[in-house]
């Protein structure tokens, strides 16, 4: 006995038989050897403490850089060390 199509009209489409639609493998079903690094690009923060001290000094001194020479040099040294460590880490990978 065939089920009339009017019964399925209220719910949309009639269900398909899985045996009539075979699985076709387009790409191989295995994982890649590498992981994309897109998620890690935004999470790396360098010298946050030094940057905060520098901005506090600049705010107190009306954003005149000559009064905050010590804080600027500390921030630049921190950033230089960070870039050196990042370069070395990238070289070893």
pLDDT in tens, the chain (93 residues): 566 666 656 667 777 787 888 888 898 889 888 887 776 555 668 899 999 999 999 999 999 999 999 999 999 999 999 999 999 988 887
* Per-residue confidence (pLDDT) for residue 4, from 0 to 100: 63
* Per-residue confidence (pLDDT) for residue 78, from 0 to 100: 96
Q: Which of 73, 48, 51 is nearest to 59 (CA)?
A: 51
* Per-residue confidence (pLDDT) for residue 2, from 0 to 100: 64
**C-alpha–C-alpha distance, residues 70 and 86, integer Å:** 24
* Per-residue confidence (pLDDT) for residue 14, from 0 to 100: 77
* Backbone dihedral angles phi then psi of residue 49, each to the nearest 5 degrees: -65, -45
Q: What is the DSSP letter of 3?
A: P
* Per-residue confidence (pLDDT) for residue 81, from 0 to 100: 96
């Amino acid at each position: 006995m065939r089920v009339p199509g009017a019964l399925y009209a209220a719910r949309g489409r009639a269900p398909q038989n899985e045996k009539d639609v075979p699985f076709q493998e387009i790409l191989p079903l295995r994982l890649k050897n590498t992981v994309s690094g897109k998620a890690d690009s935004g999470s790396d923060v360098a010298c946050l403490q030094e940057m905060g001290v520098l901005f506090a000094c600049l705010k107190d001194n009306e954003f005149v850089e000559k009064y905050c020479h010590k804080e600027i040099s500390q921030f630049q040294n921190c950033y230089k060390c960070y870039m050196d460590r990042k370069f070395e880490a990238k070289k070893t990978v």
